[in-house]
Amino acid sequence: MILIGILGGTVVEKVNLMEPLLKRVQLKGNLLTPRSDEYKKELTEEFASKAMPLFFQNEIRAIVGHVFPFEEIKRVHEQMEAKKNLGKIILQVNT
């Protein structure tokens, strides 16, 4: 498991660690804040070249929690602040 950045805080309550321990999961973490813009650019380009094809081939997928119309952005922020979301939140913009 790779964790890049922490948007929801560093404390995780009521987490059962037995399942990842039984699967011998290794956790690697990194913060990008102190990194240079050049490093972040290179990392983004490497991700695009190596990981994006896996998404297109359905070998990996993002976990999508909800899709909301852009007009509900205030409600979405309230849910995020209350930490009621699990997975990615997508705002749908109609053009």
* pLDDT tens, per residue, the chain with 95 residues: 666 666 666 777 787 878 878 888 887 777 788 889 998 899 889 989 999 999 999 999 888 888 999 999 999 888 888 877 788 889 999 86
Quote the distance between the C-alpha of residue 93 and its chain's center: 20
pLDDT for 45: 94
Question: What's the full length of the chain, in residues?
Answer: 95
pLDDT for 83: 79
Q: Are 89 and 66 in contact (CB under 8 A)?
A: yes
Dig out the tokens for 54 from the structure.
Answer: 């896996």
Phi-psi region of 12 (alpha: psi -120 to 50; beta: other; left: phi over 0): beta
Dihedral sign for Cα atoms in the order 73, 85, 9, 42:
negative
Distance in angstroms (rounded) separating the CA atoms of residues 43 and 37: 10
